[in-house]
Chains A and B, each alone.
Chain A
């Protein structure tokens, strides 16, 4: 369980503060936020819309679209597809996070604590 060591012997609190304040790291956080915050909000709105539709507009949710299949059922199924699409988009976006992270880590290996 070497991973669970409470502190990292190679770096001090000041080293971490320096990395946290560095440009590449701020850039990484910015790139992450521009994807994650809108994606999470869209997901929340779409998901809570299901409870609102089914709960407050049962008539609309009961409307039959294909045969006896209702809007409510189709909207429930859409939750799975939106979830999968967000997951796929996140994988794409995350490859950029990984590239930025690799840059920060390699710079840190060469010049520990001086960014």
Chain B
């Protein structure tokens, strides 16, 4: 336990010093920004949630691993370079470039904060479940753990670490990669470095389902998603991943601030290697957790989120568990910091300064104060919801809620404003509103939150005890087209010549970096 705290403290110290070094005027390099993007993206969901999901659902869980990676192809081909060249700082800035700024900024601030809140909830659940596991004998309940972890993080982010983000993410992405590699080596060592033996063991996993002992092949699909509705759910999942990450504000922000388009492009490719490498290893680690611990034990002790740390303990002993836990905490802390900054910047900059005060310059202290207050607000709300959900909720599923909001509300508005001349204020307003409300309503009506549990069910009860109103767990198949459709229909029903006139300027700047170029000293 002392080692856990020690490593977390060391990582935090190290981050502070290095960020001051960066602030001294060094420009960020592509590999550094690539690791930072990977750091921003790979949260407790990637580390704790994904491994647990694969350990429980085998091949069906592996689809989440693929989805998290492929999302970056969309970012690489469609989003990174235009966003960097437009030289803006929030999603609201990009939209306000062509459109009536007040309504689009207000809505962008709300959808940014909504997707950040879902991501935060996932981090809080992950942190709470981890403390709960580590201090299982000390009487600390999960709710106390969430409150403790959440408060610590709020204090750290609000009073200290606001500035130290990029280097925090770089170090954290490196620690996470090392952790994944060591864990994989321990897994391979367990199978005497015969990979096929691992797959052979994964093809015969024995566990209980509905009271019967069954044997299943975890490399075959169908453990979770099966006919008739399963395939539609999988398509829905894929649709969310393709567009969701490309609409996540805390990931996109990393492209607004690199020196040029080339750096933006190369940093996505770096991120794709870091994230892809980790996710390929995660499939092996998840399968190994299914073999070593077994689904029964995973559900009984700590829940799916704790499969990775428990596998680390089984293969590497208590010291390695301490290391893995420290890395998990560093991951959660770094992602919470990134989320808080993107949510509170958006609120202070887009909503407070530009909407409430119509863009009049405010005292420096006031916007920082508003940013801090909104960070605390988002943090407290996330903690509250995390305690209601309980430790059994898989954190990658929770993170997908934030991602589906991003895919349905943020991505259509962002992409159409860059690629469609005719797109206008009415379209952006309608698209964000329909995508945001549609995805929120469907998440609530989906089997994730609604369901009837038998009285005897232990852990993981549904929040709303009623039959689900929407049949699919992944709501993107309806909410993403809804966001696009609303944006397109509202645009076609209205005319805004000013927005169309401004498109030439956006097109030239997005493709050449003209206008943004001078600021970086060319």
Residues of A whose CB lies within 8 Å of any CB of B are 1-4, 6, 8, 10-11, 13, 16-17, 19-21, 25, 28-29, 32, 36, 39-40, 43-44, 47-48, 50-52, 54-56, 58, 61-62, 66-70, 72-73, 76-77, 79-80, 83-84, 86-88, 90-91, 94, 98, 101, 104-105, 108
Contact = CB atoms under 8 A, between A and B. Distances in A.
Contact of A68 (B200, B233, B509): B200
A11 B516 CA distance: 12
17 contacts: A3-B87, A20-B508, A28-B511, A36-B78, A40-B78, A51-B231, A51-B238, A52-B231, A54-B234, A68-B217, A76-B62, A76-B63, A84-B273, A86-B77, A90-B76, A94-B265, A98-B262
Given A39-B77, A69-B199, 10 more contacts: A25-B512, A29-B507, A47-B66, A48-B235, A50-B66, A52-B235, A58-B227, A70-B217, A76-B66, A83-B72
A4 B231 contact: no
Contact of B508 (A25, A47, A72, A86): A25
B272 A47 contact: no
Contacts of A84: 272-273, 276
Contacts of B511: 25, 28-29, 32, 101
Interface residues of B, number: 70
Contact of A73 (B219, B227, B501): B219
Contact of B505 (A10, A16, A29, A36): A16
Contacts of A39: 77
A108 B261 CA distance: 18
A55 B231 contact: yes
A104 B513 CA distance: 11
B226 A58 contact: yes
A105 B280 contact: no
Nearest to B201: A68
B202 interface: yes
Interface string B245-268: 000000000000000011001101
Contacts of A73: 59, 62, 199, 219, 283
A91 B265 contact: yes
A87 to B, nearest CB: 5
Given A13-B501, A16-B505, A70 B72 contact: no
Query: Interface centre among B88, B221, B261, B272, by most A CB within 10 Å?
Result: B221
Nearest to B101: A6
A105 B514 CA distance: 7
A29 to B, nearest CB: 7
Interface of B: 59-60, 62-63, 65-66, 69-70, 72-74, 76-78, 87-89, 93, 96-97, 196, 199-200, 202-203, 217, 219-222, 225-227, 230-235, 237-238, 242, 261-262, 265-266, 268-269, 272-273, 276, 279-280, 283, 501-502, 504-505, 507-509, 511-517, 519-520
Contacts, number: 187
B235 A86 contact: no
Contacts of A29: 507, 511
Q: Which 3 A-B pairs have the closest CB atoms?
A: A55-B231, A68-B203, A62-B220
B207 to A, nearest CB: 18
Contact of A101 (B77, B505, B512): B512
B237 A51 contact: yes
Nearest to A28: B511
B69 A80 contact: yes
Given A40-B77, A58-B222, A91-B269, A4 B504 contact: no
B50 to A, nearest CB: 13
Nearest to A78: B66
A4 B234 CA distance: 40
Contact of B280 (A2, A20, A80): A80
A11 B518 CA distance: 13
Given A2-B519, A13-B502, A66-B196, A36 B77 contact: yes
B521 to A, nearest CB: 11
B371 to A, nearest CB: 15
Contact of A104 (B65, B77, B512): B512
Contacts of B96: 6
A19 B509 CA distance: 10
A1 B89 contact: yes
Query: Interface centre among A17, A28, A79, A98, by most B CB within 10 Å?
Result: A79
B35 to A, nearest CB: 16
Given A50-B238, A68-B200, A11 B515 contact: yes
B508 A55 contact: no
B502 A79 contact: no
A61 B73 contact: no
A4 B87 contact: yes
A79 B280 CA distance: 10
Contacts of B262: 94, 98
A56 B280 contact: no
Contacts of A69: 196, 199, 219
A55 B225 contact: yes
A70 B222 CA distance: 13
A76 to B, nearest CB: 5
B69 A83 contact: yes
A44 B87 CA distance: 28
Contact of B97 (A6, A66, A77): A6
B514 A47 contact: no
Given A16-B505, A19-B508, A87 B76 contact: yes
Contacts of B73: 40, 43, 83, 86-87
A5 to B, nearest CB: 8
B514 A19 contact: yes
